[in-house]
Homo-oligomer: A and B are copies of this chain.
Amino acid sequence: MNDAKVLLDYGSGGRASHRLIGELLLRHFRSPELARLNDAAVLDLRGPVAVSTDSFTVDPIFFPGGDIGSLAVHGTVNDVAMLGARPLYLTCALILEEGLPMADLERIVASLGQAADAAGVAVVTGDTKVMPRGQADKIFINTTGIGQIMVATPPSGDRARPGDAILVSGSMGDHGLTILSQREGLAFDAPVESDSACLSHLILKLLEALPDIHVLRDPTRGGLATTLNEIAGQSRAGCLIEESSLPVKQAVKAGCSFLGLDPLYLANEGKFICILPEAQADAALSILRADPLGKDAARIGTVTAENPGKVVMRTPLGGHRMLSMLEGEQLPRIC
């Protein structure tokens, strides 16, 4: 495209929309189904299917460790994988603000295309709307992911059972702290970086060895504390967490302490919670730690019959503290 900025015409459905598709989107989303240019895609799917949708509105749109394009792939692909599914297809709907620099749009679209390739998903259909200046902020991306479920009984938030072990695949709070520090223009001694990553290959490796995993869930908005509360509520069981075993990077601890934030309520975009029978916990940890994305995996607690619907954290001194869901909004536009 020769224009320096996104024009209102790009959303008209007319000639400018077709140029945007032909000259930019099809170049970065190399998918035969998309190239057929129908308003819908035909997919060959057999058997039970997992579907997830998310709109991404993160601010800033570029940040250490990623951008809104790669995040829009990782966030949705991970949600599909958490159901024990292999992500296969992605839809991509862009809402652009008139005047967005074309260079930014191209960088985001290229990043989205690369992340989709790396995740093994094809962008099969899409949509572009352009909003007059001031009626949207730069770019919002919706992706819907579709995958084929690979296990007989999909993991689900209501399947945590007393006695189950609670693991996390890595350190908590990296994405949330990164976005916040970028927005506030803060620089820390030790730089922090978003953990945004595609988790599906690691999830599938885990499920292949241990098909009876009860719950898989990524602690995104609201962080670990909120996500564990969701699981406790859905499963009508308690979660008992050991504070000393929670993996949090030193730089994230320091940044949180400076800003008065709790890393347990900060969003993660490349980590997951895994809840499974106690006897399989060690095997799961070995598989996780053998992968770069799971190298800091840890067992952080146990599902209990006591305190159903609640999350309790044991402090290093032996005290107990109730972890409630996130109250209020710690940080808008985190993802």
Q: Assess the A12–B44 pair: CB atoms within 8 A.
A: no
A184 CB, nearest partner CB in chain B, Å: 15
Q: Assess the A39–B82 pair: CB atoms within 8 A.
A: yes
Interface of A is mostly: mixed
Answer yes or no: A316 CB below 8 A from chain B CBs: no
Answer yes or no: A197 CB below 8 A from chain B CBs: no
* Interface hits, A58-79 → B, CB 8 Å: 59, 79
Answer yes or no: A287 CB below 8 A from chain B CBs: no
The CA of A132 and the CA of B41, in the complex, are separated in Å by 34
Interface-located stretch among A102-110, A213-221, A244-252, A290-298? A213-221
A229 CB, nearest partner CB in chain B, Å: 9
Q: Assess the B329–A37 pair: CB atoms within 8 A.
A: no
Q: Assess the A52–B41 pair: CB atoms within 8 A.
A: yes
Chain B residues within 8 Å of A262, by CB: none
- Known contacts A13-B222, A157-B38; is-contact A144 B95 (Cβ 8 Å): no
- Known contacts A45-B49, A329-B11; is-contact A37 B135 (Cβ 8 Å): no
Answer yes or no: A242 CB below 8 A from chain B CBs: no
The CA of A42 and the CA of B151, in the complex, are separated in Å by 12
Chain B residues within 8 Å of A130, by CB: 329, 332
The CA of A287 and the CA of B310, in the complex, are separated in Å by 58
Answer yes or no: A129 CB below 8 A from chain B CBs: yes
Q: Assess the B140–A95 pair: CB atoms within 8 A.
A: yes
A152 CB, nearest partner CB in chain B, Å: 12
Closest to A8 in B: B329
Q: Assess the B332–A11 pair: CB atoms within 8 A.
A: yes
Answer yes or no: A93 CB below 8 A from chain B CBs: yes
Chain B residues within 8 Å of A129, by CB: 55, 57, 333
The CA of A12 and the CA of B225, in the complex, are separated in Å by 13
The CA of A50 and the CA of B326, in the complex, are separated in Å by 38
7 contacts between A and B (CB under 8 A): A13-B326, A17-B222, A37-B230, A38-B157, A39-B217, A132-B332, A134-B134
New contact pairs (6) apart from A39-B82, A130-B329, A142-B144, CB-CB < 8 Å: A14-B327, A14-B328, A40-B52, A41-B50, A53-B126, A134-B134
